Amino acid sequence: NAGVTQTPKFQVLKTGQSMTLQCAQDMNHNSMYWYRQDPGMGLRLIYYSASEGTTDKGEVPNGYNVSRLNKREFSLRLESAAPSQTSVYFCASSEGGQDEQFFGPGTRLTVL
């Protein structure tokens, strides 16, 4: 039982490049989330998926897109990376919308 897994762990991009962050959970959870964490600001929700087949914007969605590929997988895409997107990205899952969330180990992204 791996919980929530994320790939890659580290990534360096140049401004304008694109990439996809992958997330998978094996707990049969309905809801999945993408957060970014910046120093002094706490975690901020980018997008979430309340259930398979649905996605919604969170607090800071600009510059990102998501895909809920199936119940297990939820990916985050940066179409044209900007230095302001340098951050640590966490994926999480939960049984329902306001239940305890289980987090992945994070992806540290640097955009030059």
Least distance (Å) from another protein to the CB of residue 80?
26
DSSP 70-90: SSSBEEEEESS--GGG-EEEE
DSSP 28-54: --SEEEEEEEETTTEEEEEEEESSTT-
# binding residues, another protein (CB under 8 A): 25
Rg of the chain over Cα atoms, rounded to whole angstroms, equals 13
23-62: which residues touch another protein (CB under 8 A)?
Answer: 33, 35, 40-45, 48, 50, 56, 58-59
The nearer residue to another protein, 79 or 99, going by C-beta atoms, is 99
Q: Which residues bind another protein (CB under 8 A)?
A: 4, 33, 35, 40-45, 48, 50, 56, 58-59, 90, 92, 97-98, 100-106
